[in-house]
Amino acid sequence: MSSFWPIFKRELRSYFVSPIAYVVMVMFLAIAGYFFYSSFAFFNFIGFQAMSNPMMARNLNITEGVLRPLYGNLGVILLFIMPLLTMRLFAEEKKQGTIELLLTYPVRDLAAVLAKFAACLAVYTLMLGLTALYPVLLIAYAEPEVGPILAGYVGLFLLGAAFIALGALASSLTENQIVAAAITFGILLIFWVIGWSSQFAGSGVGWVLSHLSLLEHFDDFPKGIIDTQDVIFYLNFMVLCLFLTLRSLESHRWRG
C-alpha cells in the first residue's frame, strides 16, 4: 500500500486546483446556512408565542427544534451534492486515457480505489466540519444537548462516506462525468426512499426494504442514538460498493 499516499495527495490536490471543491463547498454551506437560519427563526417564532403559554414553553427544546431538522435537511442536500463531488473520481481518468497508466503502474487497484475514496472523504469531512459553526453558535447562546450534536455528526459522516463509496462505483462504470453523477443520484435516491414502501409490503419484504433504506439507518443519529446496527450497515454498504468498484476496474483491465 506504499502507493496509497502519492495517489491520495494527487487526488486531493486535483480537487483544489480546479473549481470543483470550491463550488460544491459554497453550494453546500449556502444551502445548509439557509436551512439553519430557517429552523432557528421558526424556533424563535414558536418561542415568542410560547411566552403567553407556559405549557407550550415547557415542551420547547432547541436540540429538537433546530438541530434535528438541520441534520435531516443536510442529509437531503447530500443527495444532490455528493454526485457532483464523486462524478470525476474514475470517469475523468477514463476520458483522458490516464486510467490505463494508473492501472499499469506498480499500483494495486485496491490502493488506487482507497486513495481516491479517502481524498474525496477528506474534502467532504472539511465541508462537514465547516457546518460545526451552527451548533457552536447554539452552544454559545443557548444550551443544546451535546450528545445529539456529536451523534448527528457521526451519522452525517457515515452517510456521506456511504454516498462517496457508491459514487466511486458509478464513476468507475463510465467515462462521462454527467452520466456518473446521474447514476449516483438515481441509485442514492432509490436507497433513500425504498423504506417508504415497507408499510405496503408483507412483513418479510417490508423488513428487507426498511433495512436497505439509507434514511431509516440515519434517523436515530440526530436523536443522540448511535446504534451499532446502523454503523455496521453503513460500513457494509461502503465495503460492498468499494469491492464492486475494484471488480469494475479489474474488468476494465481485462478489456483493455
Secondary structure (3-state) at 142: coil
Distance CA 86, CA 58 (A): 45
Distance CA 195, CA 193 (A): 5
Q: Which residues of 119-128 are buried (b: 16+ CB within 10 A; e: fewer)?
A: bbbebbeebb
Could you give the angle at which helices 20-50 and 68-86 cross, rounded to 10 degrees? 170
Sequential pLDDT tens for the chain (256 residues): 567 888 899 899 989 988 888 999 999 999 999 999 998 888 887 777 666 666 655 667 788 888 899 999 999 999 999 999 999 988 887 877 666 666 665 556 788 899 999 999 999 999 999 999 999 988 888 888 889 999 999 999 999 999 999 999 999 999 899 999 999 999 999 999 887 777 776 677 777 888 888 988 999 999 999 999 999 999 999 999 999 998 888 876 655 5
Per the CB < 8 A criterion, the answer to whether 136 and 31 are in contact is no
Domain boundaries, the chain: 4-255
Per the CB < 8 A criterion, the answer to whether 213 and 191 are in contact is yes
Q: pLDDT digit string (tens) for 68-107?
A: 999 999 999 999 999 999 999 888 878 776 666 666 655 5
The DSSP element (H or E) to which 244 belongs, if any, is helix 228-255
Alpha helices by DSSP H, listed for 194-225, are: 203-212, 214-218
Nearest to 162 by CA among 223, 117, 112, 131: 117
Per the CB < 8 A criterion, the answer to whether 121 and 163 are in contact is no
Q: pLDDT digit string (tens) for 36-58?
A: 999 888 888 777 766 666 665 56
Distance CA 152, CA 13 (A): 29
Q: N- to C-terminal Cα distance for the chain?
A: 24
